[in-house]
Chains A and B, each alone.
Chain A
């Protein structure tokens, strides 16, 4: 069974940094692209970033480009999102998704003073 789990959210002050992680099991991790998707309270889904199997191509939404960095560790079956210079508008539930097909339950990130 495919499992995708995103621990590591929380409350952070504006301008500070936070690193999200995503643990996976039940599939060959290095065979798939992975994505981060977020959803602000009461809003729709927003694609944040995606990375192909070998980290050879990483894409970012304009809203996070230059502030967020996505990476993966295929040896640990894990995905990461380093979020710097956080803003209140980054407040959202962040989802990790395998190939945009299998989703985690999400983790809430709140950016507030």
Chain B
């Protein structure tokens, strides 16, 4: 069965740039997977930042951007802030009404 893959962790300096990726164990991610990105801090409900590959939701800072990089979906944080320290999950539409989350990437800002 195909699994959605994400890097387990990333560290970024304040003001720096980091790109998280979301891939598949079999195949390539394209816009047909309608990739979304959610941010979650401990004890809180998830917050969706990006939907449909690159649509930034209302109220989301423009330092967050979504794209397709090669054969993966990507979330780039440009000018990271301390508040961005969270776990980031990608979610992909696998077809036939089925969605799948990746395992999450823990981002540390230091």
- CB contacts (< 8 Å) of A11 on chain B: these are none
Interface SS of B by simple majority: strand
Q: Which bracket fits the contact residues of A?
A: 20 to 34
Tell me whether A35 and B104 are in contact in the complex, defined as CB-CB below 8 angstroms, given that A100-B48, A100-B91, A106-B45 are known contacts: no
Asked if A44 is at the interface of the complex by the 8 Å CB criterion, the answer is: yes
**Contact flags (1/0) for B86-106 with A, using CB distance below 8 Å?**
010101000011111111100
A-B residue pair count with CB separations less than 8 angstroms? 55
Q: How far apart sit A47 and B36, CA to CA, in the bound complex (Å)?
A: 13
Interface SS of A by simple majority: strand
Query: 19 A–B contact pairs at CB < 8 A?
Result: A44-B89, A44-B102, A44-B104, A45-B104, A47-B98, A47-B99, A50-B98, A52-B97, A57-B97, A59-B96, A59-B98, A60-B98, A62-B1, A95-B46, A97-B46, A100-B36, A100-B48, A100-B51, A101-B51
